[in-house]
Amino acid sequence: MESFIATGLIGISLGTQYTLLALGFTLIFGILGVVNFAHGGFYVMGGYVAYYCNVILGLPYPVAVLMAMLSMAALGWLFEAFILERVIEDHQATLMVTMGFYLVMATAILMIFGAESPQFPFPVTGVWRLGGIYFPYANMIVLGACLAAIVFVYWLVYRTNIGRGMRAMSEDLPVASALGMRTKALFPFAFALATGLAGGTGALVTPILALAPHVGDSVLAFSFLTVILGGLGSVTGATCAAFIVGLIEAYAAVYLGGSKGALTLFALVLIILVVRPQGLLGREVRRS
Amino acid sequence: MKLGLGRLVCGSLIASAGFVGAVSACELKIGVPAVLSGPAAQWGIALRGATEFVAKETMEEKRLVINGVACTVSVKSIDSKYSAEGAASATNAFAAEGIKVIIGPVGSPEVTGFKPVATRNRMVAMVNSFAKNSIGPEWPTVFHIGPGPSGWAAPIIDVGLQRYKFKTAAIVAPNDQGGTDIASVNADIFKQRGVTVTEEYYQRGTTNFAPIVTRIMASNAEALDLASSPAGDAGIIVKQIRQAGFTGPIFRLGGPGTDEIARVAGGLDILKDFLWYEPVYMDDNMRALEQKYEKLMGSVRPENSDFFRWTFAARMMIKAIQAAGTIDNAEKIAAAMRTLPVEDEHIGKGYWIGQKFFGINQEMSYPFAIGVIQGGVKQPLIRAEAVSEK
Amino acid sequence: MNNRVPKSLPAEIRPSLFSGHDWIALAIVSLTFVIPFTSTNPQVLSQTNLILIAATAALGVYIMQRLDLMSFAVPSFMAIGGYTVALLSMKLQLTDVFVLAAAAFLMPALCAIPLGALILRLKGVYFVLVTFVLTEIVQLLLFEAGPITGGSNGLVGMPAVKIFGMELWDNPHVLLTTCGLAFVSFIITSVFTRWFRSEFAAIETNDVLAESLGLAAWKYKAMAFSVAAGVSGLAGFALVNMLLTAHPSSFAPMSSVNYITYTIVGGKASILGTLIGALLLVSATDYFALSGEMSPGLFGLLIIVVTMVARGGVVGVVSGLLYRLAGQSPPLENGEHYLVVNGEKGQ
């Protein structure tokens, strides 16, 4: 029983990380119709910016996280406005461009910071324990930050004019533009919001796991999995799916082992998608 | 396509011109298939750094003189991408330039792709990789820079058993050739010493190891071996298993990288009781080698400590070329290599081994070191004598 | 074969089977047969080999693109084809190149039928993801099925393949095998995609409409998926034959991204685009590998620049330019005839 609960806690930790990543990913897809292959790059680079601010410059950790979010939002804005915007009508071109940008980002990190992991500790150590059940304090803080991010995204998407505009555009872009929505301004904004979230996630998560130039690779696969399972463009769906993926991954890996666990996770996702092709909370399929 | 064909033809002309040039003057060109991108990049950077250093050293000190002419030595490195195709394609590129002497590659998939191409093109090579078939009688001109766990896991486990009491151990490694080949060798050695072993394999690309850690905790293992898990992964595993309350000793029987593991895990305190294989015993000789590198190359040596083994390997190759008196006859160089004693000016004497494990006596065995961290404090390295099969 | 006109549609709608681009692509692929006989340079042989394998694999992407589906499943089917060949030659001593090629095509094609029944209902990004997950699953299965596939070590030590009892073992002969496989794949792909081009175009434009008008869309989708799988299997055969090893790392899930890149950067509208994309990008990768750590970044930069500058891929832009120089309007590619006839494309 203890290990069952402990595994559940692991699943929840995984779920929070996946939620943070999936929120940005799903926003970009929902609004711009772009599958952002560079998402993992913003995550890693956010981690390195936070590391640079916190460890090299000696700024307090929360400031470093903020810097990571802001700088990645700025980079995302620039990337969207100057590169992605030019090919935004062609979904496959956006895929190529974001993929290329990911390679450029990963290489830049490798050239600047080297191939080996630096020491980037989370400022809070220590573990909460009850019998065989444990939960590191750092993971609790990330869970808290994740909840805050979810609330923020909901507030932004459902309670503000910007959010209404973004949702209108994701429902029907031509109509929204005809009604006077300024897509030119909202697209980079939405993209910056998402990459800022990715950067912040990197700043929060890499210290509890590891910071290295290649850690963005697997981020992409899991964001992809989560977002599709939840239903593309659905914030609620992505959140639910993130926790489902996290829990399945945890239980499958603990009870079946690393390799068979991964197999189970992928097979389950495959089955869910075959049964419910539009995802858990998805709506009409967009073309890619 | 006309352009493409034209380029191919041009390429072959230039390549054959280079080949002719290499024969007339004494210009040794060493091919280095090194992984320079992706998670394993640091291994390739150490390999490339060592070979470039030895090339410069050879020229400055005129160590390679054939028919009375001091040879120039240049290094051509190509990213072999830690894949069989990458290494095969790099090796073909070397072959096109008439390069016959190869130092590298590093990883098991690369060595798998490299060997058939190298043999087909009559090259002589010094490879790494901990795979069970890194070298063998099928590839008579392929040499191994040093033993894998079959050579050094046993003495390290013995040191661990002297210091800590454990009857069960868990081995964790990625589920590919780079992981399974080492984990299974380690498992056998643990078992020979009466330790019950469970093996855990994870999917490469895993970033959160909490589930694997939970499994290990449930197996009630008293010791852990990280085998050849990449340093970044190993660091997270250590961090998370200590958070889960694991207090036993941790082995790292799969290559260097302890500093990086400590950085990721969050310091030596977290490693607590930790034993690892260190390719060289850091003494004044090794520091002298480090300084020589700095003086010659104008920068600090590559951080990965396999740099040293690659340096010894590249020097051995130069000696074999000198002894053979040819820079392009792989069979002659290989034959000369077999007759030379394993010896290096900085590390001292070693042995040729490999007959027992690989069926061919072409593995260099030098003294190595056992690293120990006890109670969060780094202990002096324990010098371990070169493994010999005699 | 190119002059056969189907009876069901008037000749002006189905002019000739192959377009100019198809002929150029087939001509280039058949020209590569010369290389094994004229060159002994290992670099030339190996580069041609890699380019042909890449182009053949990317055909799997090209075929699915006819249906507006982006497939990440190429490495899975390459693995099925490649491992089939390795097992047949190692366990059953079957080394005849024709038998092996047939097996490398049929085995993945057969596997694709039940799979297709499951996943071809999906569209857009959902299809992308499911095929992506599929490659991950195949990779894990290769590991878990150790007794058959050799697990993480793969299957090493294949015997050389034979043609009419003659061994094809050295560099030029290995390339000759690849040339043959690539040529067969290009023929199959161009005949298949051009033969059904109007059906595919209808499904690509609007499959719901096409279905309601009586076109059995699922039948064409299943056929396309199956043929794409078979062609990928042939690429897997060529790769395994080149390395003399069936190794799981040769079929890594992320390699699917490369095949997609070849098709799109080259120009997804015609089969020539796939070939040119593979030629350009494989050469670029090889060239960039010399710059070590920088190589992935340079490759990324190249993809961005080509995508931004050459909309419609390299082939699209170049042929557009050529026609403008000649003062003509560019001809229509796959399936567009059909749309013009139906008045849906007004330029």
Q: What is the 3-state secondary structure (H, E, C) of chain A?
A: CHHHHHHHHHHHHHHHHHHHHHHHHHHHHHHHCCCCCCHHHHHHHHHHHHHHHHHHCCCCHHHHHHHHHHHHHHHHHHHHHHCHHHHCCCHHHHHHHHHHHHHHHHHHHHHHHCCCCCCCCCCCCCEEEECCEEEEHHHHHHHHHHHHHHHHHHHHHHHCHHHHHHHHHHHCHHHHHHCCCCHHHHHHHHHHHHHHHHHHHHHHHCCCCCCCCCCHHHHHHHHHHHHHHHCCCCHHHHHHHHHHHHHHHHHHHHHHCHHHHHHHHHHHHHHHHHHCCCCCCCCCCCCC
Do B30 and B129 reside in the same domain of the chain?
yes
- Give domain status of residue B64, yes or no: yes
CA dist., res. B237 & res. A209, Å (int): 9
Q: Do C304 and A278 touch (CB under 8 A)?
A: no
* Structure-block tokens of residue C334: 């796959």
Q: What is the pLDDT of residues C168-216, one digit of tens each?
A: 777 788 899 999 999 999 999 999 999 988 888 888 888 778 888 878 8
Do B332 and B250 reside in the same domain of the chain?
no
Q: How far is C43 from chain B (nearest CA, A)?
A: 5
| Segment (H or E) for B199 | strand B196-202
pLDDT of amino acid B14: 46
Q: What is the pLDDT of residues A149-175, one digit of tens each?
A: 888 888 888 888 888 887 777 777 777
Are B252 and B362 a contacting pair, CB within 8 Å? Answer: no
Q: Which residues from chain A sit within 8 angstroms of residue C123, using beta carbons?
A: 277, 285, 287
Domain count, chain B: 2
Output the DSSP codes for C54-118: HHHHHHHHHHHHTTT-----HHHHHHHHHHHHHHHHHHS---BHHHHHHHHHHHHHHHHHHHHHH
CA dist., res. B30 & res. A172, Å (int): 61
CA dist., res. B98 & res. C42, Å (int): 9
Provide the residue type at B130 as one letter.
F
Region A200-223: mean pLDDT is 87
pLDDT of amino acid B41: 83
For chain B positions 221-240, those within 8 Å of chain A (CB to CB) are 231-233, 235-236
With 50 as the cut, is the pLDDT of residue C345 above it?
Answer: no
The set of chains that have 3 or more CB pairs under 8 A with C is A, B
DSSP 8-state symbol, C39: -
- Give domain status of residue B372, yes or no: no
| Segment (H or E) for C321 | helix C313-326
Output the DSSP codes for B319-331: HHHHHHT-SS-HH
pLDDT band at A286 (very low <50, low <70, confident <90, very high): very low
CB atoms within 10 A of CB A223: 28
CB atoms within 10 A of CB B202: 24
> Could you tell me the CATH number of the domain that includes residue B317?
3.40.50.2300
The set of chains that have 3 or more CB pairs under 8 A with A is B, C
Do B349 and B302 reside in the same domain of the chain?
yes
Domain boundaries, chain C: 20-253
With 70 as the cut, is the pLDDT of residue A13 above it?
Answer: yes
pLDDT of amino acid A282: 66
Q: Which residues from chain A sit within 8 angstroms of residue C265, using beta carbons?
A: 96
For tokens 């002298």, the residue is B288
Number of helices (H) and strands (E), helices first, in chain B?
A: 14, 19
At a CB cut-off of 8 Å and minimum separation 6, what does A14 contact? A245, A246, A247, A249, A250, B208, B210
Are C262 and C55 a contacting pair, CB within 8 Å? Answer: yes
With 50 as the cut, is the pLDDT of residue A33 above it?
Answer: yes
| Segment (H or E) for B46 | helix B41-60
pLDDT of amino acid C14: 54
CA dist., res. B155 & res. B157, Å (int): 6
CB atoms within 10 A of CB C15: 10
Chain C contact for A278, CB < 8 A?
A: yes
- Give domain status of residue B241, yes or no: yes
CA A28 to chain centre: 11
For tokens 């560099």, the residue is C171
Low-confidence ranges of chain B (pLDDT < 50): 1-23
Closest CA to C299 of A221, A36, A99: A99
* Structure-block tokens of residue C203: 């499904």
Output the DSSP codes for B208-245: --HHHHHHHHHTT-SEEE-TT--HHHHHHHHHHHHHTT
Q: What is the pLDDT of residues A120-145, one digit of tens each?
A: 989 988 899 888 788 999 999 999 98
CA dist., res. C292 & res. B24, Å (int): 30
Q: Is C331 helix (H, G, I), strand (E, B) or coil?
A: coil
pLDDT of amino acid B76: 93
Chain C contact for A284, CB < 8 A?
A: no
pLDDT of amino acid A283: 58
Domain span at residue B105?
26-146+283-366
Q: Do A3 and B207 touch (CB under 8 A)?
A: no
pLDDT of amino acid C155: 85
With 80 as the cut, is the pLDDT of residue C338 above it?
Answer: no
Chain B contact for C250, CB < 8 A?
A: yes
Pick from A13, A44, A214, A264 the residue to mutate for testing the B interface (most B CBs within 10 Å). Answer: A214
Pick from A14, A116, A255 the residue to mutate for testing the B interface (most B CBs within 10 Å). Answer: A116
CA dist., res. A51 & res. A59, Å (int): 10
Are C236 and C104 a contacting pair, CB within 8 Å? Answer: yes
- Give domain status of residue B12, yes or no: no
Percent of chain A with pLDDT over 90: 34
Cα distances from B339 to residues A216, B134, B150, B311, in angstroms, run: 48, 21, 24, 20
CA dist., res. B275 & res. B154, Å (int): 12
Output A221 or C266, whichever has higher pLDDT: C266
CA B184 to chain centre: 18
Region C244-272: mean pLDDT is 88
Are C183 and C275 a contacting pair, CB within 8 Å? Answer: no
Closest CA to C308 of A104, A99, A97: A97
Do B352 and B297 reside in the same domain of the chain?
yes
- Give domain status of residue B344, yes or no: yes
At a CB cut-off of 8 Å and minimum separation 6, what does A84 contact? A32, A34, A94, A97, A98, A191
CA dist., res. A223 & res. A239, Å (int): 11
Chain A contact for B19, CB < 8 A?
A: no
Output C318 or C332, whichever has higher pLDDT: C318
- Give domain status of residue B15, yes or no: no
Closest CA to B275 of B191, B374, B181, B384: B374
Chain C contact for A272, CB < 8 A?
A: no
Cα distances from A109 to residues A102, A104, B186, in angstroms, run: 11, 9, 35
Q: What is the pLDDT of residues C38-61, one digit of tens each?
A: 887 877 888 899 999 999 999 999
pLDDT band at A186 (very low <50, low <70, confident <90, very high): confident
Output the DSSP codes for C167-233: EE-SHHHHHHHHHHHHHHHHHHHHHHHHHTHHHHHHHHHHHHHHHHTT--HHHHHHHHHHHHHHHHH
Do B139 and B90 reside in the same domain of the chain?
yes
Nearest to B96 among C42, C156, C170 (CB): C42
With 60 as the cut, is the pLDDT of residue C334 above it?
Answer: no
* Structure-block tokens of residue C15: 């002019």
Q: What is the pLDDT of residues A248-278, one digit of tens each?
A: 989 998 998 878 888 888 888 888 877 887 7
Q: Which residues from chain C sit within 8 angstroms of residue A224, using beta carbons?
A: 129, 132
DSSP 8-state symbol, B118: H
Do B266 and B292 reside in the same domain of the chain?
no
pLDDT of amino acid B291: 95
Query: Which backbone phi and psi does A178 adopt, to 5 degrees?
Result: -60, -35
- Give domain status of residue B377, yes or no: no
Residue burial A188-222, b: 16+ Cβ < 10 Å; e: rest: bbbbbbbbbbbbbbbbbbbbbbbbbbbbbbbbbbb
Q: Do C44 and B131 touch (CB under 8 A)?
A: no
- Give domain status of residue B385, yes or no: no
Number of helices (H) and strands (E), helices first, in chain C?
A: 15, 4
Output the DSSP codes for B240-278: HHHHTT--S-EEE-S-S-HHHHHHHHTSHHHH-SEEEEE
Terminal-residue alpha carbon distance, chain C: 31
Q: Do B79 and C151 touch (CB under 8 A)?
A: no
Average pLDDT, chain C: 84
With 90 as the cut, is the pLDDT of residue C126 above it?
Answer: no
Beta B223-225 vs B250-252: how paired, if at all?
Answer: parallel
pLDDT of amino acid C331: 57
Q: Do A115 and B42 touch (CB under 8 A)?
A: yes
Chain B contact for A259, CB < 8 A?
A: yes
pLDDT band at A288 (very low <50, low <70, confident <90, very high): very low
Nearest to A258 among B202, B243, B244 (CB): B202
A128: β partners: A135
pLDDT of amino acid A117: 87
CA dist., res. C3 & res. C306, Å (int): 36
